[in-house]
Amino acid sequence: MVEKFSLDHLTPTEFEEFCFDLLNELDFKNVNWRKGTGHEASSSDDGRDIECEKLIIDVDEKISTEKWFVECKRYKKGVPPNKIQGVLSWANAKRPDKVLIIASNFLSNSCKNNIDEYIKKNNPPFKIKYWELKELEELSFGKSQLLNKYNLSKGLDFLKIMHPMHLKYVSKPQANTLDYFFSVMNDFDSKKRDEILQFAYEFFIAPRYKKPVTGKEKMRDLMIDKADYDALKEKCYALKSNLTEFFLVKSIVNLTLEWAFHFADKTSVDVVIERNKSMIKYMKEKLKDAKDEETAMILGLIKDTEKKVKDLPKQTEDWYSLYSSFCEQVLRKLTEESIMDKIEELED
């Protein structure tokens, strides 16, 4: 079971440090934690805990910089109005672009009312924002290193994004005939079908490949055997004489779900990116001592890996969309075929 997201176990200083790290993760620049010593007794300077900057790209692609003052409030209950007066007073004097109040749980209603009244009465030259627990959970989602550092993850965050039909499918035995399975897949968008079944094509058909000549050939150019949807159907019906239909369908679906969710897992993108950045750093070091014939290959690997880092967030989102479509349009129908009917057919 995934535990409820909570920051109550953090001390006030640890909560400030969490906010500092989160702002860095969110690409704020020049993040300055103003807590002098880092000890619990040390207070922040001049009524704000953190100063930082946010780069803003306008529609004409010109970049401007916003100055933010950030106040961090670690309270197990609602933050009272008097606890935000310091940052508002300092902001009124120094005129940042935005004031952000981060609460470990929530702002009290009286505090929110106080902010509204302050804006109406003073028309401040800065905007006031606040992040409460719900926003902090959303903003830190997928940032596994941050979550692990502050003991906010039990390693099961992926359960939050697993599709309900995926959980339903794996929660109990499911039996489907090949005829029924392929009738469902026939109705699935052919482009999406080929993309999500690519692993089934590879593992079930096990196509043979020619040896590369130039080293620049793509895998599909080297393929000897046909590996597509029709070939998968032919292979499965050929295997039917030695393996049960239920096993074949279950194997295809489980294999597909495993790989699709692996590429769709938004909770570990940062880990994969960091791993690839480390690889880029390693290859750049190797480049210094590389021989002439190795240089081109290493430069190509660096270029490919840099592109992978850049494209990974979007690719993960695309895979999640594909995975969700498969769960919604295929798994839902598969769970509608009754296992009891199949068992009765076998008994007859």
Q: Where are the domains of the chain?
A: 12-153, 161-347
C-alpha R_g of the chain: 27
Encode pLDDT of 272-297 as tens digits: 888 888 999 999 988 888 887 788 88
**Average pLDDT for residues 27-37, to the nearest whole number?**
81
d(CA 150, CA 153): 8
Is residue 147 predicted with pLDDT exceeding 50?
A: yes
**Contact at 8 Å (CB) between 32 and 53?**
no
Question: Mind giving me the DSSP string for 165-186?
Answer: HHHHHHTS-----HHHHHHHHH
Is residue 144 predicted with pLDDT exceeding 70?
A: yes
CA distances to 17, 51, 54 from 5, rounded to whole Å, are 17, 26, 27
Is residue 264 predicted with pLDDT exceeding 90?
A: yes
Q: Which CATH number fits domain 12-153: 1.20.58.220, 3.40.1350.10, 3.40.50.1000, 3.40.50.2300?
A: 3.40.1350.10
Q: In the structure, what pLDDT confidence band is assigned to residue 21 with cuts at 50, 70 and 90?
A: very high
Phi and psi dihedrals of 51, rounded to 5?
-115, 140
Strand order in the sheet with 63-73: 29-33, 50-57, 63-73, 98-103, 127-131
pLDDT at 113: 96
